[in-house]
Amino acid sequence: MNFELTEEQQRLREATRRFVQKELPDLARHLEETDQPVSEAWRRRYAEMGFLGVNIAPSYGGLGLGDFEAILVLEEFAKISPAVAFPVFESSVGPIRAIEHFGHPNLRARVIPPVCRGEAVVAVAMSEPDAGTALTDLKTRADISASRIVLQGQKRWCSGGSHADGYLVYCRLSSAPGAAGIGAVYVDKDRPGVSFGNPERLMGFRGIPSADIFLDHVEVPLDHLVVPAGGFKNLMRAFDLERCGNATMCLGIAEAALQQALSYTQERRQFGKPLVDFQAVQLKLAEMAMQVEAARLLIYRGVQPASPSLPSAYDSSLAKCFANEMVRQVCGNALQVMGGYGYSKQYSMEQRLRDAWGWGIAGGAIDIQKVNIAAEIVGRRFPQRAT
């Protein structure tokens, strides 16, 4: 296995790094302070630079590169903050890829190009008040007639809720029990019957809006059906790529925390010498570096062989689970070595720790990923439902 980037991949990473480090730190601070998402003007700037839809087909306005290249770009954005990285996340590893893989040609042609141009955002609406980890318990219904699809229900914990222009809504499309009745329908924000709850106030993820979505007799055309009933496995295949994106967000946050801790411990002096000269600090830095690099390899393994297909459930669960735990530990240790400066809002480390915690909740909790991993290595599923 070759761990070296190609010349083209190196150029892509360096171009991304120059842009984000020069252009985005002030924007990241603004989003953190105001809890507002990246504006359309900034998304268009991203698009002009080629950072949206990196792995989307050129016929839809993307660059036509692989998932690996998309992950390289996302990693650099995530080093600045998850908020500035979120449009890249949504355009490359989010629900837009499910639409590209499984959606009707009419829907793909209408929805995907505006996302790649920075003119629109598409979010996924999965969880419900009584269906989070137990996703197959969802109650939102979509009834299909000869001329339309009608949706009724409520969605919760939608990153992009009230802000995104459209939603890939996981819903029950037949009376078949469990996963057999579940599929997905695309719904535009401005459809009659779509409304939103109050914005969530979260520990982290500022600049990534979240709100309940209410669907009250919402009618959409038949070509908005993305995955029919019985296609839950396809939805999860697409979501495996999003899990790798989740892990990459963790990687970017942790790498930035490590670099900040490295700089601080070499500049800060105590007892007449730099902090880095103390062995206890050296051990923490070494442990942090090992964790970051291990996460990177798991993520890269998950996405490199996947294109033009999608990552496996096993590889994506390994990458996400390890990265979710890794980023909490790395950011916690980085904050600790910085002491009061790490805990101060004047600096960015406390924000990194707050943002770090959320990724092990979003996209499937850490313990559920471990159940998925066990199922893959044993070769059978482990039902969680009481019998």
Average pLDDT of span 266-292: 97
DSSP-based three-state secondary structure for 274 = strand
| Per-residue pLDDT tens over the stretch 210-227 | 999 999 999 999 999 999
Q: Measure CA of the first residue to CA of the last residue in the chain; give whole Å.
A: 45
Give dist(CA 222, CA 39) in Å, integer: 31
Say what the pLDDT of residue 83 is. Answer: 97
Does residue 334 surpass a pLDDT of 70? yes
| Per-residue pLDDT tens over the stretch 293-330 | 999 999 999 998 665 568 889 999 999 999 999 999 99
pTM of the model as a whole: 0.94
Which helix or strand (DSSP H or E) is residue 351 part of? helix 349-358
DSSP-based three-state secondary structure for 166 = strand
Does residue 345 surpass a pLDDT of 80? yes
Pick the closest to residue 333 from 242, 264, 244 (CA basis): 264
Does residue 384 surpass a pLDDT of 80? no
Its CATH architecture, for the domain 7-116, is Orthogonal Bundle (1.10)
Ranges of each domain in the chain = 7-116, 122-229, 233-378
Give dist(CA 6, CA 129) in Å, integer: 46
Say what the pLDDT of residue 19 is. Answer: 98
Q: Which fold has domain 122-229?
A: Butyryl-CoA Dehydrogenase, subunit A; domain 2 (2.40.110)
- List of E strands, the chain: 122-125, 141-144, 149-159, 166-172, 182-188, 194-196, 210-220, 225-227, 269-270, 273-274
Pick the closest to residue 240 from 94, 87, 55 (CA basis): 94
CATH class, range 233-378: mainly alpha
